[in-house]
């Protein structure tokens, strides 16, 4: 079987993305243990703290019949100077795939290029492609479709924004990103998403006006204003990002049946108000649960 990596969401083709979401729905409807990946060992390397990613992947691997080998960077010789290339070659002799949560995207690319087994991006500073699979599954569950819907993302133009732009364009959605000047998504990502959207019927917009981004949105999405590694910027960002909080005013600008999403962990009272995350429009907890089902579908697609 040809080695396949999942480093960015567009590693899946457009038809294949839909198939992964269909499979995720099937796995959610019937969560009985399976043996599709029996006999396989899947490594999980975490260079960043994790709650949802760690637990959902480990449980999902077990439920597919495989064995999860969970490692922190401090437990590997990576933390003592061994090169990524050497680590990739060694792990390729032991494991059948590696799930990695790291900082620089280049670390994933190097690992994938040097190793002979699939590498899955469980989060990098550039993208969060596993998160967006759960996001699309959740939206489709609630709305019955993806194409033609408007998804408004408010906040930092970060890794989650990048993945939403790419995946939303692939799904034919109208993605509007609202963020303070200077905190836009990377322009190359925006342009690439626009090129994809031109062929799927979607659109991509980036604006500094949060209410314009949220206007008539079917989905309103946010993330923390300071990601891991940016904690020293937290206080400075609070003032800049305050107008981009997802709150009652923003939800009123969206469609009456709009859903509110957050990839978690949430800082209540900062990027999202407590009344929204705990309110009737929130699908945050379903979104978190769907990490399990969508990642199981991804692993089956790459390994079964």
CB 301 within 8 A of CB 16: yes
CA-angle at 275, arms to 271 and 276, nearest 5°? 60
Q: CA-to-CA distance for 95 and 42, rounded, in angstroms?
A: 6
CB 176 within 8 A of CB 218: no
CA distances from 173 to 193, 238, 243 (A): 11, 30, 25
Task: Give the residue numbers marked as catalytic.
Answer: 101, 128, 131, 223, 263, 291
CA distances from 176 to 20, 109, 131, 193 (A): 24, 29, 18, 12
Chain-centroid distance of CA 251 in Å reads 22
As beta bridge partners, residue 178 has: 154, 207
Q: CA-to-CA distance for 139 and 269, rounded, in angstroms?
A: 24
């Amino acid at each position: 079987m040809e080695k396949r990596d999942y480093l960015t969401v567009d590693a899946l083709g457009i038809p294949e993305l839909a198939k992964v979401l269909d499979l995720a729905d099937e796995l959610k409807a019937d969560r009985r243990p399976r043996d599709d990946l029996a006999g396989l060992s899947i490594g999980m390397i975490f260079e960043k703290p994790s709650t949802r990613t760690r637990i959902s992947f480990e449980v999902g691997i077990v439920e597919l019949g495989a064995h999860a080998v969970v490692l922190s960077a401090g437990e590997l010789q990576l933390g003592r100077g061994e090169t990524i290339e050497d680590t990739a070659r060694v792990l390729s002799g032991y494991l059948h795939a590696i799930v990695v949560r790291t900082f620089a995207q280049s670390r994933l690319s190097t690992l994938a290029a040097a190793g002979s087994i699939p590498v899955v991006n469980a989060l990098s500073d550039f993208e969060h492609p596993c998160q967006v699979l759960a996001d699309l599954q959740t939206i489709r569950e609630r709305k019955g479709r993806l194409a033609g819907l408007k998804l408004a993302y408010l906040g930092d133009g970060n890794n989650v924004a990048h993945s939403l732009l790419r995946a939303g364009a692939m799904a034919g959605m109208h993605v509007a990103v609202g963020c303070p000047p200077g905190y836009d998504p990377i322009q190359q990502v925006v342009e690439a998403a626009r090129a994809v959207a031109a062929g799927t019927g979607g659109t991509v917009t980036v604006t500094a006006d949060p209410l314009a981004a949220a206007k008539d949105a079917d989905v309103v999405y946010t993330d923390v204003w300071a990601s891991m590694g940016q904690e020293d910027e937290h206080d400075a960002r609070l003032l800049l990002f305050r107008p981009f909080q997802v709150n009652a005013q923003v939800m009123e600008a969206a469609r009456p049946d709009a859903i509110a999403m957050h990839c978690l962990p949430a800082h209540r009272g900062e990027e999202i108000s407590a009344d929204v995350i705990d309110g009737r429009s929130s699908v945050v907890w379903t979104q978190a649960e769907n990490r399990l089902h969508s990642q199981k579908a991804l692993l089956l697609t790459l390994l079964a």
